Amino acid sequence: MNFVSALALVKKMTVNWPQGRPLNTSTEIRLTRLCTQRCRQCDVYNRRTEPPSLDQKRFRLLASRLREYGAYVGFLSGGEPILVPDLEGILLEARKTFSMAVTLVTGLYHKSERVERVAKVALDNDINIQTSLDGLGLLGDDLRGVPNFSTTVTDRMRKIAQMRANSHSKSLLYANIVINNKNVEQVPQLLDAIAECGWKATVGLYHTLTETTRLDTHLILRPSATLQRVLQLVSNNPIILNLKSFVRGIQQAAKDNYPRFCPYLDSPVLSTRTVIMEDGDIYLCRGEAIGNLFQQNLSEIFSGPTYRERLGQYRHCPGCWSSCYAERYLLFHPPSFDDLMDTLLKVYRLRTGYRLSPRLRTGENTS
């Protein structure tokens, strides 16, 4: 963040904080309900909103209202955003909207030519790219509901890593592993596969918190010695971007033992995260939409009764351990001095940029 951006952030804080409105530090925009995968943990493809995707004109309206209120970290997701015809233009508009960072969240399960065209726009504009790699081989096909999942995705990952290596891009490339009861034993191999592709990694755990997640009892993570061993490996793995305090808490979360904090209640100014759907509806985490950004601006939504009522409901929330919410709180509230040092180190590395070159198998060709 440069001086001008920092000054703008302080100005927005001085306007919103006294009014009891959050800073809205992180915004995820779901560009489309369409998807190329049929994941067991996701229900987005069963939505029936029309039109199914945002076009550049409608995205500009959302972006202008975000800029008016203040927008700092942005995630563009879906569905599968690569299916959005106007994606390249939307990426450029997003780069002008979010002052700190923009991340494209894509499954990469699409034709290589289209993936590479989109990746070039992202890399040329220092937009981060996040994908998901939850399983290898038949397990990946089962979890993601498509054939040849892991071979397709890792092929695209290698090509994008090579594109980045041949450029001056500062884009961060990372793959998320949603740890569940079916893939927990495969997590070490997944981390090796991600590192081999030249990407960083994050982990989360399966949950049913949000509008587009769905319940699958076979995926619910259970506490076990295997999980404890895997989490120790994750915590010490050099490609992991998660805070150690978050990784450490996954075992307790698997026991349904959640900490008694809520980012929306205990750190509303710095830890509030919003999700904007393709129809403009705005969500926090649990519960229905708190407004619609096509029909209202954010000041109206965050000053309105629905937002206040939702915060009241969260006072009785059983808790969660989602990286989207809990880890955002931990970022500003490290539990110990060691956790503070871990946080500072990881933030420094992310802000200054650091590369992980792709390690190709002997004789492998990425063309």
What is the pLDDT, as a whole number, of residue 6? Answer: 64
Tokens of 147: 């054939």
3-state secondary structure at position 240: strand
Q: What local confidence, expressed as pLDDT, does residue 346 receive?
A: 87
- Residue 203 contacts residue 247 (beta carbons within 8 Å): yes
pLDDT for residue 5? 62
Task: Give domain status of residue 360, yes or no.
Answer: no
Name the residue with tokens 């726009």: 121
Amino acid letter, 199: W
The domain in which residue 198 lies consists of 3-352
Q: Is residue 98 part of a domain?
A: yes
State the pLDDT at residue 364.
38
- For residue 27, the model assigns a pLDDT of 96
Token look-up 């071979």 returns 151
Taking only the tens of pLDDT, the chain with its 367 residues reads 566 666 666 676 677 777 778 888 899 999 999 999 999 999 898 899 999 999 999 999 999 999 999 999 999 999 999 999 999 999 999 999 999 999 999 999 999 999 999 999 999 999 999 999 999 999 999 999 999 999 999 999 999 999 999 999 999 999 999 999 999 999 999 999 999 999 999 999 998 777 778 889 999 999 999 999 999 999 999 999 999 999 999 999 999 888 878 889 988 888 889 999 999 999 999 899 999 999 999 999 999 999 999 999 999 988 889 888 888 889 888 999 999 999 998 888 776 655 443 433 323 333 3
**Residue 251 phi, psi (nearest 5):** -60, -40
Where residue 204 sits, what CATH number does that domain have? 3.20.20.70
The pLDDT value given to residue 9: 64
pLDDT at 20: 78
DSSP annotation string for 13-62: HHHHGGGT-----EEEEE-BS--S---TTB-GGG---SSSB--HHHHHHH
Residue 359 within any structural domain of the chain? no
What was the pLDDT predicted at 4? 65
Does residue 18 form part of some domain? Answer: yes
The predicted structure's pLDDT at residue 31: 98
Residue 173 and residue 179: Cα distance in Å, rounded? 19
Residue-level length of the chain: 367
Whether 363 is covered by a domain: the verdict is no
Q: Please report the DSSP string for 268-319 in residue order.
A: HHHH-EEEE-TTSEEE-SSSS--EETTTS-HHHHHHSHHHHHHHHHHTT---
Residue 46 lies in a domain: yes
In a domain, 367, yes or no: no
Which pLDDT score is estimated for 352?
A: 65
pLDDT at 213: 82
The residue to which tokens 């008694």 are assigned: 260
Q: Is residue 365 part of a domain?
A: no
Nearest to 174 by CA among 202, 205, 153, 150: 202
**Residue whose structure tokens are 């049913």:** 208
Helix (H/G/I), strand (E/B), else coil: 188: helix
Picking from 163, 135, 134, 118, the residue whose alpha carbon sits closest to that of residue 366 is 163
Number of domains in the chain: 1
Residue with tokens 């092929």: 155
Helix (H, G, I), strand (E, B) or coil at 203: strand
pTM of the model: 0.91
Residue 366 is predicted with a pLDDT of 34
For residues 65 and 75, what is the distance between their CA atoms, to the nearest angstrom? 16
**205 three-class SS:** strand
